[in-house]
């Protein structure tokens, strides 16, 4: 089998490798979209790479539609269908990625892209309130991450109609409002955090990862949800607290002034390795980088307001990063500068931990929870794209200081 141009391979790892049981020489719609998003911010050997991505996306979309699976998540590298699940975030993330690279596409690629965008929009119109596999492909249900991807995608596509030449769809405002209402249902006031999945059903084994989950943070970093928000900040505080005490490596890193490393969700059992013992979850570079990006995005958001207010439910979040002031903070005050510095420092500690535990700057899928060494699938594309994205947002945050 040969790779078609535009295919973004998730990792070079195959099951016969010593370090993993997984086969990642495939194309995931999500991973591809989140990777191509970063391409326009860096010098490419040729813009033809972006045209190729559009061409490959059209091929796999055709494959998925013929199979009656518009949100099929994973494909072979030649564009044929791989036996896999459906993820409702895929069409939304693909819309967002094509809009991101639109201005650098050739006219021929734009013509193909219009067909992709219209089809993905139609999928969202027909399936926005349905079940989907979650980001980690372990459970199915109503996904917070998927719903935010779909809402952001159709909203941004409608606002880009003059640029893309795609006529607005009259149903979209109603669907955006419906998704906004559905997202409210994910807030669990009794728990004080957002739930990742509602009405969750395990695909194999025990239901887990449906409550606290790092993909809630992805809704902010990838799908435009506000970061500096009382409910989201309370959720992030609970996530960080769980992971900080879950992995032994974080105690060692604390003495070095770096970390903590972040995983997918508490109770994770996947490790993707060849071993004889019990499987257990570990921290992931991409999860850690996305929390860093979250801190940086908070700096960018508050730069546009005259003051910020830290309420009681938000206090645990700020205590975690060494900022103890609460109440109303004016942009002209010393406390505001301290707040910016605390957010920047928190993100930098996470990014330094990723670099410190990398294998000479190579990033695998996971870090060992005890030793911090790279493990499981090697050179995961999503690990690199998330680190690069966080670095880019850091530069934007610094410009606001």
| Spatial separation of the C-alpha atoms in residues 146 and 348, rounded to whole Å | 28
What is the four-CA torsion angle of 353, 354, 356, 359, rounded to 10 degrees? Answer: 160
- Give me the pLDDT at residue 20, please: 87
Residue 277 has pLDDT above 80, yes or no: no
pLDDT tens readout for residues 65-81 = 999 999 999 999 999 99
The one-character DSSP state at 102 is G
β-pair partners for 194: 187
Task: Answer for the pair 372, 355: CB distance below 8 angstroms, yes or no.
Answer: no
1-225 placed in CATH 1.10.760.10: no
Q: Is the pTM of this model over 0.95?
A: yes
* Residue 81: how many other CB atoms lie within 10 Å: 15
pLDDT tens readout for residues 80-139 = 999 999 999 999 999 999 999 999 999 999 999 999 999 999 999 999 999 999 999 999
Q: For the residues of 30-64, what is the DSSP string, one character each?
A: HHHHHHHHHHTTS--S-THHHHHHHHHHHHHHHHH
- Give me the pLDDT at residue 276, please: 55
Residue 377 has pLDDT above 80, yes or no: yes
| Among 101, 4, 100, 117, residue whose Cα is nearest residue 52 | 4
Task: Answer for the pair 94, 116: CB distance below 8 angstroms, yes or no.
Answer: yes
Mean pLDDT for 11-23 is 88
| Cβ partners under 8 Å of residue 368, min gap 6 | 249, 282, 374, 375
pLDDT tens readout for residues 307-332 = 999 999 999 999 999 999 999 999 99
| Spatial separation of the C-alpha atoms in residues 368 and 371, rounded to whole Å | 5
The one-character DSSP state at 11 is -
| Mean of all residue pLDDT scores within the chain | 96
Task: Answer for the pair 297, 43: CB distance below 8 angstroms, yes or no.
Answer: no
226-401 placed in CATH 3.40.710.10: no
| Spatial separation of the C-alpha atoms in residues 113 and 372, rounded to whole Å | 42
Q: What are the C-alpha distances in Å from 394 to residues 125, 162, 291, 295, 310?
A: 35, 31, 12, 9, 22
Instruction: Please report, for the chain, the start and end positions of each structural domain, with discontinuous segments joined by +.
Output: 1-225, 226-401
């Amino acid at each position: 089998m040969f790779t078609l141009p535009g295919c973004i391979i998730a990792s070079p790892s195959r099951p016969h490798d010593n370090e993993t049981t997984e086969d990642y020489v495939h194309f995931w719609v999500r991973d591809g979209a989140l990777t191509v998003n970063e391409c326009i911010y860096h010098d490419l050997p040729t813009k033809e790479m972006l045209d190729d991505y559009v061409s490959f996306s059209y091929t796999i979309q055709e494959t998925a539609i013929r199979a009656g699976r518009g949100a099929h998540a994973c494909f072979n590298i030649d564009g044929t269908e791989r036996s896999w699940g459906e993820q409702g975030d895929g069409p939304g993330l693909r819309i967002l990625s094509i809009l991101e690279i639109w201005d650098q596409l050739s006219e021929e690629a734009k013509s193909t892209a219009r067909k992709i965008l219209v089809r993905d929009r139609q999928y969202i119109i027909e399936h926005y309130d349905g079940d989907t596999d979650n980001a980690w492909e372990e459970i199915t249900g109503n996904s917070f991450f998927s719903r935010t991807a779909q809402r952001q995608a159709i909203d941004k596509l409608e606002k880009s109609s003059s640029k893309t030449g795609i006529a607005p769809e009259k149903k979209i405002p109603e669907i955006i409002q419906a998704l906004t209402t559905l997202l409210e249902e994910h807030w669990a006031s009794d728990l004080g955090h957002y739930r990742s999945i509602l009405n969750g059903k395990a695909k194999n084994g025990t239901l887990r990862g449906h409550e606290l989950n790092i993909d809630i943070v992805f809704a902010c970093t990838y799908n435009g949800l506000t970061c500096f928000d009382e409910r989201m900040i309370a959720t992030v505080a609970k996530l960080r607290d769980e992971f900080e005490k879950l992995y032994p490596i974080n105690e060692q890193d604390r003495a070095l002034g770096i970390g903590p490393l972040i995983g997918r969700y508490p109770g994770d059992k996947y490790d993707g390795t060849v071993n004889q013992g019990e499987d257990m979850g570990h921290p992931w570079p991409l999860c850690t980088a996305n929390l860093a990006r979250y801190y940086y995005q908070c700096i960018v958001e508050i730069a546009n307001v005259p003051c910020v207010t830290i309420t009681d439910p938000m206090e645990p979040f700020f205590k975690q990063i060494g900022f103890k002031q609460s109440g109303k903070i004016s942009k002209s005050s010393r406390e505001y500068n301290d707040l910016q510095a605390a957010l920047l420092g928190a993100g930098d500690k996470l990014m330094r931990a990723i670099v410190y535990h990398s294998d000479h700057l190579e990033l695998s899928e996971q870090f060992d929870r005890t030793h911090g060494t790279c493990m499981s699938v090697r050179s995961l594309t999503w690990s690199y794209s998330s680190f690069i994205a966080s670095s880019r947002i850091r530069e934007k945050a610094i410009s606001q200081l």
